[in-house]
Every structure is written in structure tokens, then in C-alpha cells.
Amino acid sequence: EVQLLESGGGLVQPGGSLRLSCAASGFTFSTYGMSWVRQTPGKGLEWVSVISDSGVTAYAESVKDRFTVSRDNSKNTVYLQMNGLRAEDTAVYYCAKLTWNSGRIFDSWGQGTLVTVSS
Amino acid sequence: QSALTQPASVSGSPGQSITISCTGTSSDIGGYNYVSWYQQHPGKAPKLIIFEVGNRPSGVSSRFSGSKSGNTASLTISGLQAEDEADYYCSSYTGSSTNWVFGGGTKVTVL
């Protein structure tokens, strides 16, 4: 069974930094892309970033140059380093397993970790 | 404002069928068969229920079906059940720097 467990969320002041982690199990982590998707309270979903199995990365315009996604295949973990945080980054952040060859889909999701940016 | 447009809410009685629309552009829904749908119950993570327009993952009820015409995708839930009460999100891969876009979500209420 695929399991994704996010951690690292919390309260941070505007301009601050946080690093989210997502520990994966139940599949061959190194052969899958991983993505981060966020959900603002009471609102919809927004794709944030992706890292391919080979380490190629991409970001939404809203977080480009502020967020960095990385992965450690030896630890089956994907990370999201968030710098220069803004109030509008407040959201629940989900990591999701990406299956590229069957529709570019997020076929498993973690339970999410809440990031609150406020003074 | 979300990139894909969904109705905010849809309701139906048990046993009825409902359809949720998801409208995009030729750069996303109209350009690719990479439309997926996710179900989210309150306080839970999204769950994939439809991929590649009309395919269901293993374990998802056959009461869920998907289709697409032009720039609009649709999710139909037949034989509506109380457990179907949830939020539903459409998504499309775009192939551009945007990569993936989502709809704003539709709240399904079982009357």
C-alpha cells in the first residue's frame, strides 16, 4: 500500500522559510515523479511543483524563484524548501505520487501539512 | 480564480444521476486527453476517481464515469449514494510551464 506522510508545516512570519518533507513507502520511490499540490482554506487545489524520477523540476509561476523541490532516493523522501513566504502561501500542502505514463495523474496523496504565514 | 471552471454545487436525491461540468481551453482540456477527477471528503486528502478522461482506477465504483467534448469535460455519478457527498475537482495536464491546472471544485450534496 502506498503511503505518503508529510511533515514540517507550521506557523511562520511573512518573509520566513520552512522545509516540508514527504516520506514515501509502498512503491519503488526512485522510479516515480513526485509533486506538491496546495489547497487554501476553504478553496480549491493549486499545483505547486514537480520533480521527475531523474530530478528534473518545474514550478508554478506563483512560487518560482522562492520554492525549491528536491528528493533523496536513499531516504524515499521528497522535500519542498519554501523561502520568502507570503500570506497567500497559507495552505495545506499535499505531496502526491505522479504516474506519468497513465495520464499524468496524481494517483496517491498524503494527508497534508498546514502552512500558515502570518505575523 | 481557478483555471478550469466548475459549478460551485450540484445536488441530487439518492439513486439519481448527476453530472459535473469542467470547462477549460484548447490549451488544456481541449488539447490533451489527460483529464482527471478527484473526490475529496471533508478533512481528507483528494482521491483519484477518473483518469485519462474516462478511465477508473482499480477499486473505484463503476457509478463514476467521465467524458469530454471539446474544451469541456464531465463527471457523471449514477445511482447517487450518501457516501458520494463530497467535493469533486477536475484537473488537466497542459504541457506548458503551467503543467497542471485544477477546477475550483464542486460540492455534491445528496438530498
For the segment B52-109, what is each residue's pLDDT rounded down to a tens digit? 999 999 999 999 999 999 999 999 999 999 999 999 999 999 988 779 999 999 999 9
CB count, 10 Å around CB of B78? 15
CA B56, distance to chain mean position in Å, is 12
A87 close to B (CB below 8 A): no
Residue A102 has pLDDT above 90, yes or no: no
**CB–CB of B90/B22 below 8 Å?**
yes
Model pLDDT for residues A67-86, shown as the tens digit of each residue: 999 999 999 999 999 999 99
- Mean pLDDT of the B35-49 span: 96
User: According to the model, what pLDDT value does residue B1 have?
Assistant: 64
Q: Which of A26, A22, A27, A25 is nearest to A51 (CA)?
A: A22
Residue B98 is predicted with a pLDDT of 78
Q: Nearest-CA distance from A78 to chain B in Å?
A: 18
Which residues does A63 contact at the CB level (< 8 Å), separation at least 6? A48, A49, A82, A89
Pairs of CB atoms within 8 A across A/B: 66
For residues B56 and B37, give the distance between their C-alpha atoms in angstroms, rounded to a whole number: 10
Q: What is the pLDDT of residues A41-55, one digit of tens each?
A: 777 899 999 999 999
Name the residue type at position B42: P
Mean pLDDT across B12-37: 96
By Cβ distance, the residue of A44, A60, A109 closest to B45 is: A109
